[in-house]
A and B are shown apart, each in its own frame.
Chain A
């Protein structure tokens, strides 16, 4: 079982390791240490900024709240670019808030998402009218297909069902998920069993409300302005990004954490015992969540690196001399091969997706998903003894593992190593 620290590198980390020319476990450790340093600097800048805005106590607690968040540690461990984005945001706010440089920083962060992480946020499709045209047409067709309906003049229907309005509607559809109370505060008990990482612990939701009251009571307009500005920057970055929701929402901790901190300080001022109890509850929450994170990293984290770790771990023990095919279905397997096997990753290896039901593949060792061996299934509903079918295909299962989540839809949650004879 992997713990957080022994978790294999993410594609993002592999990309950086390749650039640094150190694609190895030592390189990964160094990268994590560097990320930690960047995070430390960013946190120091964050505390410095909020100290000026909201006072030393609030700033210190803000720093602690970020520090005890599982999200921060998952990102330090696996997603260095997100940590750099926080660092940029902190720099932007410390030195660029008054002269609006922060908005340049905001654009820079969006550019990193688009061009470095090669993200393709959904908002781009919405803005290009492409999705709106399809939705308007579908709506008209749906309404007209009904056997009985209330008749309305076409001009009236067009006032509401038109491309421009649907773009507006779809933009809301991208903006509103930013205000995701469940992901911010209730990931521990999420109603949709969403795969994400805990950002804030649930007691912090109550502190947020107290914090709003405290800030509204005590703060000047400019202080509120800093929080709103933070919300706007984090919101724009959220809208122009894609991927795991906690990563997209990560920068929102910039402005939420000081509000929560204000709530805790305010509670402590009014009712000292209450403040202490709340603080202790947060400590309890932090220990509980890190305990959970280390107990079930495959539940909380992306399973794709774990799949590669498994495949290459098994391959290295096999001493197989023939052709080895490793699937590319969930990422660049060649990069992972170089990381896990180094120079052994020679010409015997082929890095590509395969489907035995469609291709006439040759003899070799194949690392892939159930569906790649026995044919994909639309609903991922493979029988548990699927490997029994392999002998009829002239193949033999060498190793098999079940992944917790579906990472290759239609190809099953089992990964394996199969030798085709």
Chain B
């Protein structure tokens, strides 16, 4: 295929990619998660007032649920929220665009690793990977960060433009926390190039090359650190608070299974010493990310209970997860000869590091920066497989190739169906509660005629859905900033403001109230409402599958 053909095809892949990522964003995923709603509302708040929901002027991090989300995603969402309003489409559009742009960077990388001839075909195949579709259709800061890390990594590998490289990396760090560890590690690894030490003749040569390498990437590292200082000045202690909650050290202590600990101080044990088991935990946390089983099939409960869960599939396709192993073997085999292969290993380790430092064994969202690397490995595996097929007799080769292509096409169709149509069936629930989209706007409209609105919701942080779907005036919300739970407080962060009260409804007692509006669970029956003077069931709200709440009024 000539250059024009390749460009046309690349544009085609991007257009199809845009359609698949951008269609029906209000319907699938069926409702917003609370983090998505928070990003959306803060975007709205910034757009309207230049301040976040707490009244902080043009912040670098959004305090949000006291988790201090890096703010870049929200800033980039302003034009989309302006265009589509506070809707699923408005808040998810940055992710869509990120997903489409990431295809271009993936194409560059595939060209670099697999050659110009096959890169576009490999892109066509990989552009529909489950994780690419899923993360493009949800508002995730980590997805934006992943695009920027990938761009920076490509520029670093090519050694093309230092300032652009630093810019991409810095923006990545302003998009999501994990880049703040991944980028420095990658720069140090690439500068020191430790895997090349094995082929050096003597230590002098090793030291010389390491110093020279570090000098080159050190400039980039310095630029990165300097440009990141404002973030650390703003909320470094809170980053530590978060680390204290999530780190690997605390959760598993004393690391040795408790039943075989025989000493009061387990570190004094000769056999089954905690150091041995801790080593296993760390190694396992790292290698879990190259396990085909984890990549495509196994669902850990902390993944299942979160927005990163892809129902019916894993992050990668089934065949891809095995091809990653083939590619990894190829990469390891050529580590000594090819610097770009060593780069992949550095990128992989640096990308895993932020996730490996936390207690969860396999946490795709925190390690999203590595999936392009795994895709490149899968692509290398596919090239090897294709070559192996080509070495067979013509007839047999053709049969296998046709079978392979048909399988990939059908898998792609399945993946699209799965993400767009099936996923909402399994994914509604705790983090995509549903019902708010269908009822909150009406609740806020009605509230004008009542003195009090009581909201009883089983979902954490339900206030954010009221703010989002009710398009509550940011100025009003900001004026309550001082009465909201302080940073460091965990649990439900609902807060009462204006006439809105978040609490459990005690119907026998609350039915005595007047001029009150309720967002109530469906356990309060129509009969119980009918018998109360002045009470009326305004609406029963459903999510994608069942009734979730009732709007009740008492005059």
Which residues of chain A have a CB within 8 Å of any CB of chain B?
Answer: 139, 142-143, 145-150, 152, 156-157, 159-161, 165, 168-169, 172-173, 176-177, 179-182, 185-186, 188-189, 191-192, 202-203, 205-206, 209, 212-213, 216-217, 270, 284-285, 287-288, 291-292, 295-296, 299
Contacts and interface: CB of A to CB of B under 8 A. Distances in A.
Contacts of A299: 259
Ranked 8 nearest A-B pairs via Cβ: A216-B333, A160-B414, A191-B361, A172-B318, A202-B280, A181-B291, A150-B24, A160-B413
A221 to B, nearest CB: 11
A291 B414 contact: no
Contact of B276 (A145, A148, A156, A285): A285
A29 to B, nearest CB: 28
Contacts of A172: 296-297, 318-319
A288 B272 contact: yes
Nearest to B412: A160
B522 to A, nearest CB: 15
A261 to B, nearest CB: 16
Interface of B: 23-24, 27-28, 30, 198, 252, 257, 259-260, 271-273, 276-277, 279-281, 283-284, 287-288, 290-294, 296-298, 300, 318-319, 321-322, 325, 328-329, 332-336, 361-362, 407, 410-411, 413-418, 420-422, 424-426, 542-545
Contact of A296 (B259, B287, B325, B407): B259
B341 to A, nearest CB: 11
Contacts of B422: 139, 142-143
The binding surface of chain A is classed by DSSP as helix
A292 B276 contact: no
B284 A212 contact: no
Given A165-B410, A181-B293, A160 B272 contact: no
A142 B283 CA distance: 40
B280 A188 contact: yes
A292 B269 CA distance: 13
A160 B332 contact: no
Given A150-B24, A192-B300, A145 B272 contact: no
Contacts of B426: 142
Contact of B421 (A157, A202, A291): A157
A213 B335 contact: yes
A186 B425 contact: no
A146 B280 contact: no
B259 to A, nearest CB: 6
Contact of A147 (B257, B414, B544): B544
A270 B198 contact: yes
A179 B293 contact: yes
Contact of B417 (A147, A157, A206): A157
Contact of B543 (A147, A150, A179): A147
Contacts of B414: 160-161, 165, 169
A179 B292 contact: yes
A217 B30 contact: no
Given A139-B422, A182-B284, A213-B332, A189 B291 contact: no
A145 B422 CA distance: 10
Contacts of B24: 150
A169 B288 contact: no
B193 to A, nearest CB: 16
Contacts of A212: 328-329, 332-333
Contacts of B292: 176, 179, 181
Contact of B410 (A160, A182, A295): A160
Nearest to A206: B283
A217 B337 CA distance: 10
A146 B283 contact: no
B257 A191 contact: no
Given A156-B413, A180-B291, A295 B279 contact: no
Contacts of B293: 176-177, 179-182
5 contacts: A143-B421, A168-B407, A212-B328, A212-B333, A216-B334
Contacts of A270: 198
Contacts of B280: 186, 188-189, 202
A216 B330 CA distance: 8
Given A180-B293, A181-B290, A147 B421 contact: no
Contacts of A202: 279-280, 283-284
Nearest to A210: B332
Given A147-B542, A157-B417, 9 more contacts: A147-B545, A150-B27, A150-B421, A161-B414, A168-B407, A173-B297, A181-B290, A212-B332, A213-B335
A312 B442 CA distance: 69
Contacts of B30: 146, 148
Contacts of A203: 279, 283
A266 B33 CA distance: 50
Contacts of B334: 216
A81 to B, nearest CB: 26
B372 to A, nearest CB: 21
Contacts of A216: 329, 332-334
A191 B272 contact: no
B318 A176 contact: yes
A191 B413 contact: no
Contacts of B28: 149-150
A159 B408 CA distance: 12
